[in-house]
Chain A
Amino acid sequence: MNTRRLNATTLVLYGFVGLMSLIVLLPVIYMIMAAFKTRTSMFVSPLALPESLSFETFERAWGVGVGGFMVNSLLVTFLSVVVIVIVSGMAAYALSQMRGWVGQAIYLMIVAGFAIPVQAVLVPVFQIMSGAGLLNSRLALVLPYAAYGIPFTVILFYAFFLDFPKELEEAARLDGCSRFQAFVRVILPLSGPAIASAAIFQSVFIWNEFILALLVLTRRGLKTLPVGILDLQGEFTSDWPAVLAGLTLATLPLLILFVLAQKYFVRSLAGLGK
């Protein structure tokens, strides 16, 4: 009797989680499925399966430049993450070594930067960018992305570096390293997990970042995926299958990457709770 009640509970729990998974999955499945439909069948029978497996819609979407958007996103994301990791790593290490109120004050200042959303400083950021003549350049994305990635990454690295015994750096210095060499040759090689965590975390955010990219990029050739796929809508007025094909092309690679490396994604993003 006990086991039967247990089974009923388990069934309810599976039902609950299963239903949630279904709610998450259906729109994604719909996106992929409807991308194969024709415009007419979208109108006439929205719920029906596609009649044939033609990749013609994908070709049309690809023609808008999804491939180019992807390359742009890759480039911007890669550069930003590299800058974030290097700049934050150095700053966090210096802070973890500095004693006294100066280090504390700088740390607090950087943490304070964490609280400031880009949405609240859109106008001046735009003014600075256009004043510097950086509109429509990759630098106009990489630099602010790096800046907004720094606070969180510094916090993450700082906590990580504090866990190192300080004798490690001291041993290196006795072995002839300068402070900077000790950082590069001893501390950095041991920071793989923190670097990976920070890189994944920032990659997800920068890959998907929209508002800054919307502001500073108007040239098609530079657009990143989020602003680029918005163009799909304008390009294919009411050609929904093509839009969905474009969305599929834009989202599937990251989704697949996520599924393959979900353990690391989850670990990195769950780190936000700390």
Chain B
Amino acid sequence: MPQRPRTARSDGRLTYAAMLSPAIVLLSIFVFVPVALVLYGSLFRFGLTSAEWTFVGLSNYVRAMGDGVFWIALRNNIIIVVGSIVLQVGFGTLLAAVLDRGITVGNTVLRTIIFAPMVISSVAVGLIWLIILDPNVGPLVSLVKAMGLTPPRLGFLGDPSISIWVVLGIASWQYTGFMMVLILAGLQAVPKELYQAAALDGATGLRAFWHITLPAIRNILIVAVLITTVGGFKVFDLIFVTTGGGPANATQVLSTWIYFQAFNLGNTGYADAISVILLAIAVLLGWAQLKSSRRA
């Protein structure tokens, strides 16, 4: 078929390519090339600044499988994920439902307060709680003592058997409001006629919540769960500031363990291997998010 050459001008390809290129360049340098580099680096033993790279095959991955702290870190990530879903999405849903239909006066004020920690940096949140939970000067210890109970001897964050749960609590303090707002936006999109129809059918209060509200916001709940899950695997700041992964690695998570291996111990190749595992989890979750939002 004879075809006249199309002019690039009227086709617009050049313009669009030019408009796309800054984004593609930035993403390549800081996202795609680094992904390739972790995959590559995970097969080597090398130091952060040394030029000497030794090919070690999959032994960094084998090492991870035998590394007790790696498993603790993974377990802690899962604890944070599951705990956050229960606490943040759970309470977030309840709060959102109450703000949406339960109460009518003062909603904005209450919503603003509960959402506020979201805009504070996790570092500041960690430091505030570090002081609140301090075994010597912290008000919480005094409060517990004043109530006639004995606080943990090493402090709330110093006791390896509970410290990860305390971190979970702090994270939930920060993000429950975010989940509430997210879900509230979903609730407000539910047509009010639905509740009126349900009321005529005899479903009010809790039964309406169960039979009308929850199904109507199913999709947004899935999104909330996925955001929380992804966030739970990415958690770093809070742990770095409050416990540094301690006591005795009891609160390590994957990201802090990567950081310590790479930047404190110089096991850069090993850090890359753990990064690849974290990456695989993140990509899997991202894919799940994409699929669920397509269906939504």
Contact = CB atoms under 8 A, between A and B. Distances in A.
A complexed with B: yes
Interface in A7-45: 9-10, 13-14, 16-18, 20-21, 23-25, 27-28, 30-31, 34, 42-43
A12 to B, nearest CB: 9
Interface of B: 12, 15-20, 22-24, 26-27, 29-35, 37-38, 41, 48-49, 91, 94-95, 98-99, 102-103, 108, 110-124, 127-132, 134, 136-139, 141-143, 146, 173, 176-178, 181-186, 205, 220, 223-224, 227, 230, 233-234, 236-237, 240-241, 254-255, 258-259, 262-263, 268, 271-272, 275-276, 278-279, 282-283, 285-287, 289-290
Most buried by A among B19, B230, B282: B19
B121 A225 contact: yes
B271 A20 contact: no
Nearest to B222: A273
A143 B25 CA distance: 11
Given A123-B268, A124-B34, A124-B41, A91 B23 contact: yes
A115 B186 contact: no
Contacts of B121: 207-208, 210, 225-226, 229, 250-251
9 contacts: A17-B98, A91-B20, A119-B278, A121-B31, A126-B262, A208-B123, A229-B121, A229-B123, A258-B112
Interface residues on A, range: 35 or more
6 smallest CB-CB distances across A and B, nearest first, come from A115-B286, A124-B37, A208-B121, A147-B30, A121-B34, A91-B23
A158 B244 CA distance: 40
A272 B35 contact: no
Interface of A: 9-10, 13-14, 16-18, 20-21, 23-25, 27-28, 30-31, 34, 42-43, 46-47, 86-88, 90-91, 93-95, 97-98, 106, 109-117, 119-128, 130, 143-144, 146-148, 150-151, 154, 178-180, 183, 204, 207-208, 210-211, 214-215, 225-227, 229-230, 232-233, 240, 243-244, 247, 250-251, 254-255, 258-259, 262, 265-266, 269-270, 272-273
Contacts of A87: 22-23, 26
Contacts of B185: 270, 273
Contacts of A255: 116, 119-120
A146 B26 contact: yes
Contacts of A125: 30, 34
Most buried by B among A43, A121, A126: A121
Nearest to A132: B29
Contacts of A21: 110, 113-114
A175 B176 CA distance: 51
A220 to B, nearest CB: 16
Given A120-B279, A122-B255, 11 more contacts: A28-B128, A124-B34, A124-B35, A124-B272, A125-B34, A148-B31, A250-B121, A254-B119, A254-B120, A273-B182, A273-B186
Contacts of A28: 116-117, 128
Main secondary structure of the interface of B (DSSP, over half): helix
A211 to B, nearest CB: 5
A208 B120 CA distance: 7
Contacts of A254: 119-120
B19 A183 contact: yes
A144 B282 contact: no
B113 A119 contact: no
Contacts of B16: 94, 97-98, 179
B103 A14 contact: yes
Contacts of A229: 121, 123-124, 127
B237 to A, nearest CB: 4
B114 to A, nearest CB: 5
Nearest to B279: A120
B33 to A, nearest CB: 7
B124 A226 contact: yes
A208 B123 CA distance: 8
B282 A115 contact: yes
Contact of B181 (A42, A240, A266): A266
Contact of B122 (A94, A179, A210, A233): A210
A94 B19 contact: yes
Contact of B275 (A91, A121, A269): A121
